[in-house]
């Protein structure tokens, strides 16, 4: 099992919400694998596709986006949105794609393990 | 570093640079999201205002969000550090009084350290400016008969040649003889320090000429040896840095020498100043068996690669042992010592004790200054309690607060250090101008500069001082008791007896150190005053002296020497403004030469058993000019010439020692380097009073005087009693000498009083320095107690107001405050006094020839400190007295 990237970076961690943060990263990366998007678009997409179950708070979204950009998994560019407004678009980099594959596999392993535990004995 | 962290690092650097754009982008990004959210809300049915408000609410704390994002992009520690610095600057500017006092105090304390360190750096730490300085050695003779520096005795020519031939540890060995020469020619003749060197001297030293070439192997033979290499200083001063100087000639000791090279400006050996170099030529006498006893050379050697010092040392010892066995007459018990050049020079200095004392003194001054600063900060902390409590309550960690205060301390300290460097430079120039009691110290003074080492030392010292005085206040404030401090009117006054304990301890410590320093300084000062006021035995006022070293082949003849002396004497005596003049081989208070002698009836077998004493060859009116009293018999007259029967005058010490209880008149003495070989007996015709040979001499030395006419010499000292200030006649004196021979140098033109002071070997400078440092320490200490007391009085205004309202009269208040202050002063003085009892022993251990008399030194200094302390207490006490009870009671 590959160590969490956060351990590599030695970033300041909050005690709770690590799992949530990792998951958010995964969602963002997957969303952007479909093409470049701005922050609002990412939030709306996740909200829509998850049938209103998952709602990403702005307070969590933007720190996550910037963090991912700092790590080189996303690249950012200013462009024009669908309604002619200036917006910052994020897209996946090559390293980001690799990271997405890693995290997806990790997530699959985790959920399979949890499912096994939750199975009626 | 992993690729990810590299990327991250790089992006952060970029963010640092384009800071403002980052902020704008962030703002715009979040704004876009907000607008889109508001639009969506609007399209779902809310009105525009409501839509925006709802969007805003969902967003939460925008400011915090921006902060979080921004923080991701920046170097957190750098940001907070920069914040601290900006805050510090604001705080310091807001309190100009405090800041000024702090910086000045620090500057004073640091500057004296910088000054003394500059001297120590040059004399003890600096490496010689040659290639691989740690492999350049001095090989010297160990002479067990010497009292001082027995292992740094000179080397004779035959020994040097044998050492060179027989040793295998050195890549090269080169001898040098350091002497003075007279340089003349186109301009006025000048006496300069110079060196006669073996041809490979520069190669051994590891330095090459900047212009021209070093000496060639054959140039140490007579006939080919009239070549000279100049120092950069002489090339500049006498030849105007002319690059065409090679091939031109210079007159050295009257003979023409051809210039073949110029050394670079960086080459100067502090202990061996040389302004020019000529080849070392050995005469037949030098190389003879007798010449083996003449130890006049310094031998430089460079270790072979792969050879270390212990091996070289043991090899040289065995070579010396062999020579001792083969030449017992000259080399018995003589060993060989190998040291690095730097080590040799350090031990040669003789100033190491003085430097140690000076360094200790300035360290104490800095400690006292730091104590003042700590107290200043502690006092200010009290005023800032609320500010720090608020910060702590908001969320600043203890470490953060402490770091803030330490940043302030370091800032103050670096500013103080900067000013200190400037002050230190000024002090250094002042000291160096007094560093001139002989030619060696003058040369050394030119070497002493403030280089990068000194600057680095100052910066390091500033930071160290900052930590020293800043740590206690920083810890104290960060430990603050938030609740009570936040309350309005939180004073912490009388309840704070314990609070102020640290400050009291610091003041007591300051005063103790001040007293300690003062006692130390007094020892030096008292010793010097005693030296100066000791009976001189002559009248040193209005006496002008000069030294004329006769150079040139013609002056090797005694007749020419005699003629010159007589002629010069006549010209000098005839100068307007001169009452009388005389010539001597040596001056009083000038460490005279000596000679062996034999008293008739007390024959000895060999010269080693013959006693020796001070030797002076003087002209007729020597004693009348110097006003040395004639106790018995007569002075020399013109009848005592070379043809007349030899006569002699002795001083009282001589008479007392060798003719106790009887008159020496009529007795006969033989004298000379080997008196057993001297044929003629001299008759003693007079006895004169004692005169010291150096400042601070306790026991007068026996001396004998012979007529100059019968014993001419090329090294002459002229003494002239003047009617007005002696130095006004200096030029006339030079003129008189040059009338007789324009090619001779006139050097060391000084008044006799200057000669006396100079022979103290810097005692006067040492006394002044120690006294100044003690004075500074005392002033700082006084400021310390004044500051603390003022502060305490300020704290207690409320309490004092109550006392006075209850009936205490102002006089009682005054006494109360003074009593509080003086209790600190007395404690400090007591501690300091006890500590300083060890000082006299310490000082005499470091300076053997210093006598410490009497307790008046120890007795006088405590009262001085008590008095200063009293005055410092009085001012705040008076202020306390004037407290208006009504105002005080209202004071919050």
Judgement on whether residues B211 and B320 belong to the same structural domain of the protein: yes
Q: What pLDDT was estimated at residue B444? A: 83
Confidence of residue B891 (pLDDT cuts 50, 70, 90): low
- Asked if the structure places residue B751 within a domain, the reply is no
Class of domain A19-118: mainly alpha
Instruction: Give B12-51 pLDDT, tens digit per residue.
Output: 777 666 677 778 888 888 888 888 888 887 777 767 777 7
- CB half-sphere exposure, B775, CA atoms < 13 A: 7
Q: What pLDDT was estimated at residue A5? A: 40
Confidence of residue B8 (pLDDT cuts 50, 70, 90): confident
Q: What pLDDT was estimated at residue B545? A: 95
Closest residue in chain A to residue B8, using alpha carbons only: A70
Contact list, B65 vs chain A (CB under 8 Å): 58-59, 62-63
- Asked if the structure places residue B870 within a domain, the reply is yes
Instruction: Give B764-800 pLDDT, tens digit per residue.
Output: 899 999 999 999 999 998 888 888 888 888 777 777 7
Interchain proximity A63–B36, CB inside 8 Å: no
Token pair for A24 = 């958010």
For residues B882-888, give the mean pLDDT. 73
Closest residue in chain B to residue A82, using alpha carbons only: B36
- Asked if the structure places residue B140 within a domain, the reply is no
Q: What pLDDT was estimated at residue A15? A: 40
- B879 interface with A at CB cutoff 8 Å: no
Interchain proximity B25–A67, CB inside 8 Å: no
Closest residue in chain A to residue B9, using alpha carbons only: A70
- CB half-sphere exposure, B138, CA atoms < 13 A: 26
Judgement on whether residues B290 and B179 belong to the same structural domain of the protein: yes
Average predicted confidence (pLDDT) for chain B: 87
Judgement on whether residues B28 and B110 belong to the same structural domain of the protein: no
Closest Cβ opposite residue A70 in set B28, B37, B72: B72
Closest residue in chain B to residue A7, using alpha carbons only: B5
Query: Final residue of a domain: which of B333, B359, B386?
Result: B333
For residues B250-272, give the mean pLDDT. 89
Q: What pLDDT was estimated at residue B75? A: 66
Q: What pLDDT was estimated at residue B481? A: 58
Chain A closest-CA separation from residue B387 CA (Å)? 29
- Asked if the structure places residue B57 within a domain, the reply is yes
Judgement on whether residues B234 and B297 belong to the same structural domain of the protein: yes
Least confident of B242-251, B342-351, B424-433: B342-351
Question: Residue B426: in which H helix or E strand, if any?
Answer: helix B398-433
ipTM of model over 0.90: no
The pTM (predicted TM-score) of the whole model is 0.77
Instruction: Give A56-87 pLDDT, tens digit per residue.
Output: 888 888 889 988 988 889 999 999 988 888 89
Question: Residue B651: in which H helix or E strand, if any?
Answer: strand B647-651
CA pair distance B54, B38, nearest whole angstrom? 7
Whether residue B127 is predicted with pLDDT greater than 80 in this model: the reply is: yes
Radius of gyration of chain B (CA): 38
Q: State how far the alpha carbon of B65 is from the alpha carbons of A60, B59, B60, B701, B882, in Å.
A: 9, 9, 8, 92, 57
How many contacts, defined by CB atoms under 8 Å, are there between A and B? 74
Least confident of B52-56, B199-203, B462-466, B700-704: B52-56
Cα torsion at B827, B831, B833, B836 (round to 10°)?
-160
- B32 interface with A at CB cutoff 8 Å: yes
For residues B183-187, give the mean pLDDT. 79
- Per DSSP, the residues of B162-197 read HHHHH--SEEEEEEEEEEEEEEESSS--EEEEEEEE
Chain A closest-CA separation from residue B11 CA (Å)? 7
Judgement on whether residues B597 and B650 belong to the same structural domain of the protein: yes
- Asked if the structure places residue B750 within a domain, the reply is no
Instruction: Give B454-467 pLDDT, tens digit per residue.
Output: 999 999 999 999 99
- Asked if the structure places residue B778 within a domain, the reply is yes
Whether residue B487 is predicted with pLDDT greater than 60 in this model: the reply is: no
Interchain proximity B32–A59, CB inside 8 Å: no
DSSP strands (E only) in B156-305: 170-184, 190-197, 211-212, 227-230, 249-252, 255-262, 276-279, 298-303
CA pair distance B791, A9, nearest whole angstrom? 51
CA pair distance B499, B485, nearest whole angstrom? 14
Judgement on whether residues B326 and B363 belong to the same structural domain of the protein: no
- A101 interface with B at CB cutoff 8 Å: no
- A96 interface with B at CB cutoff 8 Å: no
- Domain locations in chain A? 19-118
Interchain proximity B36–A57, CB inside 8 Å: no
- A39 interface with B at CB cutoff 8 Å: yes
- Asked if the structure places residue B850 within a domain, the reply is yes
Chain B closest-CA separation from residue A108 CA (Å)? 24
Interchain proximity A57–B58, CB inside 8 Å: yes
Chain A closest-CA separation from residue B492 CA (Å)? 40
Instruction: Give B385-421 pLDDT, tens digit per residue.
Output: 778 878 777 766 778 788 888 889 999 999 999 999 9
Judgement on whether residues B165 and B212 belong to the same structural domain of the protein: yes
Interchain proximity A71–B72, CB inside 8 Å: no
Contact list, A66 vs chain B (CB under 8 Å): 69, 72-73
Confidence of residue B480 (pLDDT cuts 50, 70, 90): low
Question: Residue A94: in which H helix or E strand, if any?
Answer: helix A94-118
Domain span holding position B321: 154-333
- Asked if the structure places residue B144 within a domain, the reply is no
* C-alpha of B625 from chain center: 37
B197 φ, ψ (degrees, to nearest 5):
-125, 150
Give chain B's domain count: 5
Interchain proximity A69–B60, CB inside 8 Å: no
Contact list, B68 vs chain A (CB under 8 Å): 59, 63
Contact B234, B276 (CB under 8 A): yes
Judgement on whether residues B473 and B585 belong to the same structural domain of the protein: no
Judgement on whether residues B322 and B298 belong to the same structural domain of the protein: yes
Confidence of residue A16 (pLDDT cuts 50, 70, 90): very low
Judgement on whether residues B399 and B435 belong to the same structural domain of the protein: yes
SS3 state at B229: strand
């Amino acid at each position: 099992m590959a160590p969490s990237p956060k351990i590599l970076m030695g970033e300041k961690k909050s005690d709770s919400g690590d799992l949530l943060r990792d998951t958010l990263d995964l969602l963002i990366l997957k969303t952007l694998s479909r093409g470049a998007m701005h922050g609002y678009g990412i939030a709306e997409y996740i909200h829509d596709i998850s049938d209103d179950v998952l709602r990403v708070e702005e307070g969590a979204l933007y720190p996550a986006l910037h963090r991912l950009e700092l790590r080189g998994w996303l690249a950012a560019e200013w462009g024009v949105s669908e309604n002619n407004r200036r917006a910052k678009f994020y897209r996946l980099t090559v390293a980001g794609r690799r990271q997405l594959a890693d995290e997806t596999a990790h997530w699959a392993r985790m959920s399979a393990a949890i499912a096994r535990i939750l199975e009626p004995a | 570093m992993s690729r990810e962290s590299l990327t991250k690092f790089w992006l952060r650097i970029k963010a640092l640079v384009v800071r403002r754009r980052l902020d704008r982008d962030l703002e715009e990004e979040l704004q876009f999201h907000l607008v889109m959210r508001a639009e969506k809300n609007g399209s779902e049915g809310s009105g525009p205002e409501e839509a925006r408000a709802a969007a805003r609410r969902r967003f939460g704390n925008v400011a915090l969000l921006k902060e979080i994002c921004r923080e991701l992009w920046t170097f957190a520690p750098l940001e907070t550090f920069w914040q601290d610095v900006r805050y510090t600057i604001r705080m310091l500017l807001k309190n100009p009084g405090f800041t000024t006092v702090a910086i000045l105090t620090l500057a004073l304390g640091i500057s004296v350290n910088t000054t003394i360190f500059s001297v120590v750096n040059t004399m003890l730490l600096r490496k010689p400016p040659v290639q691989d300085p740690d492999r350049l050695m001095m090989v010297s003779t160990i002479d067990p008969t010497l009292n001082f520096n027995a292992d740094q005795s000179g080397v004779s020519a035959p020994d040097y040649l044998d050492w060179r031939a027989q040793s295998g540890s050195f890549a090269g060995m080169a001898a040098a003889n350091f002497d003075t020469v007279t340089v003349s020619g186109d301009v006025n003749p000048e006496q300069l320090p110079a060196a006669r060197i073996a041809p490979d001297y520069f190669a051994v030293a590891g330095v090459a000429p900047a212009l021209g070439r070093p000496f060639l192997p054959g140039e140490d033979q007579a006939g080919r040896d009239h070549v000279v290499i100049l120092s950069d200083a002489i090339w500049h001063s006498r030849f105007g840095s002319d690059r065409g100087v090679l091939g031109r000639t210079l007159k050295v000791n009257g003979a023409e020498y051809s210039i073949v090279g110029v050394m670079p400006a960086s080459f100067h050996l502090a202990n061996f100043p040389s302004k020019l170099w000529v080849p070392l030529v050995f005469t037949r006498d030098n190389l003879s068996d007798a010449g083996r006893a003449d130890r006049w050379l310094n031998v430089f050697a460079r270790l072979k690669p792969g050879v270390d010092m212990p091996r070289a040392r043991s090899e040289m010892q065995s070579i010396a042992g062999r020579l001792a066995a083969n030449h017992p007459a000259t080399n018995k018990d003589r060993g060989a010592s190998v040291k690095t050049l730097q080590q040799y020079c350090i031990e040669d200095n003789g100033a190491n004790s003085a430097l140690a004392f000076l360094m200790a003194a300035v360290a104490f001054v800095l400690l006292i200054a730091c104590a003042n600063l700590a107290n200043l900060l502690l006092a200010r902390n009290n005023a800032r309690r609320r500010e720090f409590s608020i910060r702590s309550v908001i969320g600043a960690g203890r470490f953060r607060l402490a770091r803030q205060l330490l940043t302030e301390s370091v800032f103050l300290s670096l500013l103080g250090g900067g000013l200190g460097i400037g002050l230190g430079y000024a002090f250094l120039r002042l000291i160096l101008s007094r560093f001139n009691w002989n030619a060696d110290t003058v040369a050394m003074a030119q070497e002493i500069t403030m280089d990068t080492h000194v600057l680095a030392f100052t910066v390091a010292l500033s930071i160290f001082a900052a930590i020293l005085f800043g740590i206690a206040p920083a810890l104290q404030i960060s430990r603050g008791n938030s609740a009570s401090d936040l309350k309005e009117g939180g004073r912490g006054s009388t309840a704070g007896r314990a609070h102020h304990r640290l400050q009291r301890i610091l003041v007591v410590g300051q005063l103790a150190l001040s007293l300690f320093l003062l006692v130390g300084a007094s020892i030096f000062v008292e010793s010097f005053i005693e030296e100066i006021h000791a009976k001189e035995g002559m009248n040193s006022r209005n006496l002008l002296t000069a030294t004329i070293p006769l150079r040139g082949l013609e002056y090797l003849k005694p007749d020419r020497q005699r003629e010159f002396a007589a002629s010069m004497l006549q010209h000098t005596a005839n100068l307007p403004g001169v009452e009388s003049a005389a010539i001597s081989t040596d001056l009083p208070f000038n460490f005279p030469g000596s000679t062996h002698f034999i008293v008739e009836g007390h024959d000895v077998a060999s010269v080693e058993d013959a006693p020796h004493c001070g030797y002076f060859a003087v002209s007729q009116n020597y004693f009348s000019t110097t006003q040395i009293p004639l106790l018995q018999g007569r002075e020399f007259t013109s009848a005592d010439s070379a043809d007349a029967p030899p006569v002699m005058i002795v001083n009282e010490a001589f008479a007392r020692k060798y003719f106790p209880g009887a008159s020496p008149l009529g007795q006969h003495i033989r004298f000379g380097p080997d008196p057993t070989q001297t044929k003629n007996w001299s008759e003693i015709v007079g006895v004169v009073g004692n005169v010291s040979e150096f400042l601070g001499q306790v026991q007068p030395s026996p001396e004998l005087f012979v007529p100059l006419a019968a014993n001419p010499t090329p090294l002459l000292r002229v003494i002239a009693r003047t009617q007005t200030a002696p130095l006004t006649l200096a030029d006339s004196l030079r003129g008189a000498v040059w009338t007789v021979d324009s090619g001779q140098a006139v050097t060391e033109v000084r008044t006799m009083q200057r000669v006396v002071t100079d022979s103290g070997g810097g005692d006067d400078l040492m006394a002044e320095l120690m006294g100044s440092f003690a004075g500074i320490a005392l002033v700082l200490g006084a400021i310390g107690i004044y500051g603390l007391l003022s502060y305490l009085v300020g704290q207690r205004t409320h309490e004092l107001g109550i006392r006075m309202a209850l009936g205490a009269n102002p006089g009682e208040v005054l006494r109360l405050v003074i009593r509080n202050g003086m209790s600190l002063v007395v404690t400090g003085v007591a501690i300091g006094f006890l500590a300083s009892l060890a000082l006299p022993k310490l000082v005499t251990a470091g300076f053997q020839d210093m006598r410490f008399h009497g307790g008046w030194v120890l007795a006088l200094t405590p009262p001085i400190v008590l008095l200063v302390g009293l005055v410092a207490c009085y001012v705040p006490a008076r202020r306390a007295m004037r407290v208006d009870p009504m105002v005080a009671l209202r004071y919050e």
